Amino acid sequence: MLRQRFNPQKKFRRKTVQKSLATHELMQAIRSVERVVDSKKHGEEKAVEDQSFNRQSSFDIFDLTPQVLENISYKGYESPTPIQIQTIPAVIIGKDVIGIANTGTGKTAAFLIPLVDKVFRNKFERVLIVAPTRELAVQIHEELRSFSKGLGIHSALLIGGMSINRQIGELKLNPNFVIGTPGRIKDLIQQRSLFLSVFKNVVLDEADRMVDIGFIQDIKYFISLLPPVRQSLFFSATISGKVNEILQGFVRNPVTASVKQQEMVENIEQEIITLKPGESKIDRLHDLLAQDEFKKVLVFGRTKWGIQKLTNELVRRGFRAAAIHGNKNQNQRQKALNMFKNDEIQVLLATDVASRGLDIEDVTHVINYDMPASLEDYIHRIGRTGRANKKGVALTFVS
């Protein structure tokens, strides 16, 4: 929760909040997060929640094959998260699922683990996973390869910025899993290289994000091409009116699983940085990044041009920094992400293309250099830190 404190012993001191419009909107956004947390504490959330969940339980409680359990253990997963313990049993018995969950809650494993198990038992099963961004699709593909290692399960990654001819070749091999973004999936359908009628297992991940960035008609088109008898898994942080339009034609008699908003933000300390009149924003960011505790920092900005200019300036000042945004090709974006994951750079700067789907360990700080456009964007940005029960800090610049 946001707490206005003043500690003269700390290098970083929280400033008194000025009554600017941007600050007021941010405070209102954070308070609305707190209201959601409080309402769920009082039982107003009607979706299924297992309040007695025991974090010491293991994946052995699920009816999974020994080979899949071995891969889960090898990956270092010891206990299922709340969304996993709600979702995995439902997927195993063939139910459709609506998962209301954000990134950072373990939702990717919640659908991948039981689907990998299903495909391992029957290699004729085909799974289609649709994600809103290239980064999220790549992340899901990497997770899939971990869970399916040594199981004879094949996959194809269909995203823009990579060779479409190579992807056509991979589809000819009839992979068990196809993971892609809507634009490239549509291209391959139109080229008659991808036929959705063969996929009896379908996952729509982060459906609200797909609606936000204009893919609602494409998703409806995909659903119209799917076989009527299928298992459908639907994940979204929120269920708005437009998202609900997709739901109506996608799932049948679903099980609804939800994680509490509290679990997404309770490990994140949120702070506001108010600039003094005439104070340089870049200089203030410089002073923060120079502190020892800012070990692995994700900085969000509004525009591609602004983020690249800021990255160039930080590099000029001696910081190990790189950027990902829409003007970078896929190889450049992936290289920057890998460098950040491997601690080869201290600072990764991004537009909101990176605010969802990035599962990067040990991000110490998220800095909103530019104000997010909405409460949802704010939550998704700050959710890059404080993951896996670790603590994190989210800082937001206001002027």
DSSP 273-286: EEPPTT--HHHHHH
Q: Are residues 334 and 354 in the same domain?
A: yes
Tokens 């001819």 identify what position? 165
- From 259, 288, 305, give the residue that closes a domain: 259
- Quote the pLDDT of residue 28: 56
What percent of the chain has a predicted confidence (pLDDT) above 90?
A: 57
- Quote the pLDDT of residue 131: 95
Q: Is residue 382 within 8 Å of residue 394, measured between CB atoms? A: yes
DSSP annotation of 48 reads B
DSSP annotation of 144 reads H
Q: Is residue 363 within 8 Å of residue 385, measured between CB atoms? A: yes
Distances (CA, A) of 130 to 30, 206, 209, 342: 30, 9, 11, 27
Q: Are residues 182 and 299 in the same domain?
A: no
Amino acid at 353: V
Length of the chain in terms of residues written: 399
Kindly tell me if the per-residue pLDDT of 33 is higher than 70: no
Distances (CA, A) of 184 to 111, 155, 162, 215, 334: 22, 16, 10, 12, 18
Cα of 30 vs its chain's centroid, Å:
20
pLDDT per residue over 179-198, tens digit each? 999 999 999 999 999 999 99
- Quote the pLDDT of residue 388: 67
pLDDT per residue over 131-186, tens digit each? 998 889 999 999 999 999 999 999 999 999 899 999 999 999 999 999 999 999 99
- What number is the average pLDDT over the span 295-311? 95
Kindly tell me if the per-residue pLDDT of 44 is higher than 60: no
Q: Can you point out the beta strands (E) in 230-331?
A: 231-236, 255-258, 268-274, 297-300, 321-324
pLDDT band at 34 (very low <50, low <70, confident <90, very high): very low
Residue 11 belongs to a domain: no
- Quote the pLDDT of residue 356: 58
- What number is the average pLDDT over the span 361-366? 92
Residue 379 belongs to a domain: yes
Q: Are residues 250 and 270 in the same domain?
A: no
Amino acid at 109: A
Q: Are residues 165 and 233 in the same domain?
A: yes
- From 259, 283, 302, give the residue that closes a domain: 259
Kindly tell me if the per-residue pLDDT of 16 is higher than 60: no
Q: Are residues 297 and 250 in the same domain?
A: no
pTM, rounded to two decimals = 0.68
- Quote the pLDDT of residue 367: 96
Tokens 């800095």 identify what position? 367
Q: Which residues are bridge partners to 300 per DSSP?
A: 350, 368
Q: Are residues 310 and 272 in the same domain?
A: yes
Q: Are residues 71 and 202 in the same domain?
A: yes
pLDDT band at 382 (very low <50, low <70, confident <90, very high): confident
Query: Domain tally for the chain?
Result: 2
Choice between 49 and 358, residue whose per-residue pLDDT is larger: 358
Task: Put residue 346 in one of left, alpha, beta given phi > 0 → left and psi -120 to 50 → alpha.
Answer: alpha
- From 259, 280, 314, give the residue that closes a domain: 259
pLDDT per residue over 193-217, tens digit each? 999 999 999 999 999 888 878 899 9
Q: Are residues 25 and 77 in the same domain?
A: no
Cα dihedral value 289, 291, 295, 298, nearest 10? -30
Residue 54 belongs to a domain: no
CA 5 – CA 28 distance, rounded (Å): 18
- Quote the pLDDT of residue 186: 97
Q: Are residues 181 and 268 in the same domain?
A: no
DSSP letters spanning 98-126: EEE--TTSSHHHHHHHHHHHHHHH-TT--
